[in-house]
Structure 1
Amino acid sequence: MHNKYDVCTESQKPETFLTYNKTKGGVDAEDQMAHAFTTERKTKRWPLVIFFNILDLSSIAALIVFRMKYPFNTLSHDDNRQKFNIDIGRSLALPQIICP
């Protein structure tokens, strides 16, 4: 698909550009969601920047899976991403806090 140098006859643009323009909406939506409620902090250490980005993207992916599995749950609504992240944090931290 992308290893050919096909050019669209109507727009005179390469097919690769047209395919990218058709599919870039998902990346823009994910970036918007990531910046609405982010874990990002000001730092000069680039590994931390990558780590914060991984946290943001993984929480969005978890929310998408949760919404697909439980569409009628109250945490599944669009305005509850912050509550969803807090719930994930608590469920991950609680077993470490409570000693058996």
Structure 2
Amino acid sequence: MVKSLSKDLRWRIIYCQAEGFTQNEIAKRMYVSEATVNKVCRIFKKWGCVKDPFICRVGRRKIFTTQDMSALKSLVKDKIDWYLDELVHEMEQRTGKLDVNN
């Protein structure tokens, strides 16, 4: 399993590049490979951040869409005194998605 670099280390690479260090010098200073330095610099140049924003996230896929979230927001705004189980039941009715914990 590949360990990912911390966000702090990625920013340090960018700061060193801005100060005029070569990629070889940065790699030696940060104890990473030149390929890693090149990758971080390329991502920063393209996106303006140190991590590619379009790399998919690890974990469970989201089941709520933006329409579901707006429905939930309006429901919570209208029914401020409802209990959580009542909100869940109403959301199940509105979206057709069932609560897997029941």
| Shorter-chain TM-score range | under 0.3
Structure that is richer in helix per residue: 1
Q: TM-score, normalised by structure 2?
A: 0.26
Name the larger-Rg structure: 2
